[in-house]
Amino acid sequence: MIDSVETSIEWFQKNKHPDLIFLDIQLSDGMSFSIFKKVDVNSPIIFTTAFDEFALKAFELNSVDYLLKPINEEKLKISIEKYKKIKQGFAKNEMNFDAQKLFQALQKNKVEYKTRFLVNKGSSLIIVNISEIAYFFTEDKLVFIITHDNKKYSINATLDKLEKELNPQIFYRANRQYLISVKSINEIHNYFNYKLKLELNPPAKTDDIIISKSKVSDFKNWVSTQ
């Protein structure tokens, strides 16, 4: 295992580049992005890190995927399958990937998630960015946004539709009524019959937001990989 920028640069300069690289963003002597300033690496990369603020930078490079620590086994499998599908699009006799071809393949399969909403505020329209939203909830067949500063806006959508349009690393369908941001979770309590009860911030109109027994494992994985 290579654990520093310096030894990585030396290794890439002296060795044939591999078919796939797993690369931690934070190495013992600095950020792994520094490697690419010294060496032209054409191999596809799956980045790993404990933090999500480097995702955009990672995808500017030959990144197949971006895994947050602790690495979830299912997400790792998905990343490997993604790599295999991309690999199939290249000639069998190519030993390395062309960076531009890889980028084009990734862009073709890239999922675009919503980043903002246009909502009514009195007689005006305002933009609400995803980073401002604590959760969505439904009431009387209407769907509302609740922001982190406890503002409420109605939107013309369904939770089912929103669940598909929003980044699943940020938002989770807690139950039929609530689609929540990880940053909105104030406390998590063990509850009757192996369920979980959530307290949100701002507080939800429904006091008890219950994660069903069947979803507990999935919910814990979602929280722990954010």
Residue with tokens 């609400």: 128
Q: Give yes or no: residues 105 and 202 share one domain.
A: no
CATH number of the domain at 45, please: 3.40.50.2300
CA distance 86 to 44: 10
Mean pLDDT of 164-191: 93
Q: Which amino acid is at 10?
A: E
Q: Give yes or no: residues 34 and 92 share one domain.
A: yes
Q: Give yes or no: residues 132 and 211 share one domain.
A: yes
Q: Give yes or no: residues 217 and 134 share one domain.
A: yes
Domain boundary among 109, 132, 163: 109
Cα atoms found within 13 Å of the Cα of residue 120, Cβ hemisphere only: 6
Q: What is the pLDDT of residue 133?
A: 97
Nearest to 176, CA basis, from 153, 209, 133: 209
What is the share, in percent, of the chain residues with pLDDT greater than 70? 81
Mean pLDDT of 187-207: 91
Domain boundary among 82, 109, 136: 109
Average pLDDT, the chain: 82
Domain boundary among 77, 94, 109: 109
Q: Is the pLDDT of residue 53 over 70?
A: no
Domains: count for the chain: 2
Q: What is the pLDDT of residue 225?
A: 66
What's 43's DSSP letter?
S
Q: Taking the model in full, what pTM does it have?
A: 0.56
Q: Give yes or no: residues 73 and 125 share one domain.
A: no
104-154 pLDDT, tens digit per residue, is 554 555 557 899 999 999 899 999 999 999 999 999 889 999 999 999 999
Would you place residue 72 in the very low, low, confident or very high pLDDT band (cuts 50, 70, 90)?
A: confident
CA distance 96 to 16: 9
Sorted by sequence, the CB contacts under 8 Å of residue 84 that are 6+ apart come out as none
CATH number of the domain at 200, please: 2.40.50.1020
Domain enclosing residue 18, as ranges: 5-109
Q: What is the pLDDT of residue 138?
A: 95
Q: Are strands 45-49 and 63-68 parallel, antiparallel or unpaired?
A: parallel
Q: What is the pLDDT of residue 161?
A: 93
Q: Give yes or no: residues 140 and 76 share one domain.
A: no
